[in-house]
Amino acid sequence: MTATTSPSGQATASAILDTGLDAWHAFDKTSVSESSLYASATGAPQWLQYDFITGQSTINGYSLSNRTASPWYSSQAPVAWTFAGSNDGVAFVTLDTRSGVTWASGGLTKTYTLSATASYRIYRWTWTSMPSENAVVLTKVQLNP
């Protein structure tokens, strides 16, 4: 992506930490880089979502990539969340739940496989517990077919 709705779909967040740390940066398909970051606002819960707009997309899982810069790679990485799907943006079905996640180094990509294939228009991560810096910062998020 190069903007919130470009070239297609829509990346949004409940709130961001600061200007320039927009939701679409998580979905820009660049390699893990400090030059393109998404940062949630502080305090849980906060959410990040991608809406395909034109219809459902089938996935088997997702990947999250943390920062490369020390010491923030672990203190700003997600530690607990739910991952859900929706076709209307109102009713969400929980597809995955994680807690106690740790990040041993920077530039890591963690891939999570769903227990069953999912097909929804909107996918949302809700950060249910914040890391020690009180905001989730990611370099890349990917929905895996």
List pLDDT tens digits, range 60-81.
999 999 998 877 888 999 999 9
Q: Look up the pTM and report it.
A: 0.92
Q: What is the structure's pLDDT at 19?
A: 85
CB 92 within 8 A of CB 124: yes
- Hey, where are the domains in the chain? 10-144
Cβ partners under 8 Å of residue 85, min gap 6 = 92, 93, 95, 118, 119, 120, 122, 123, 124
Residue 71: the pLDDT is: 79
| CATH classification (class only), 10-144 | mainly beta
Residues of the chain with pLDDT under 70: 1-7, 30-33, 35
Specify whether the CB–CB gap between 91 and 84 falls below 8 A.
Answer: no
Q: What is the predicted pLDDT for the residue at 70?
A: 79
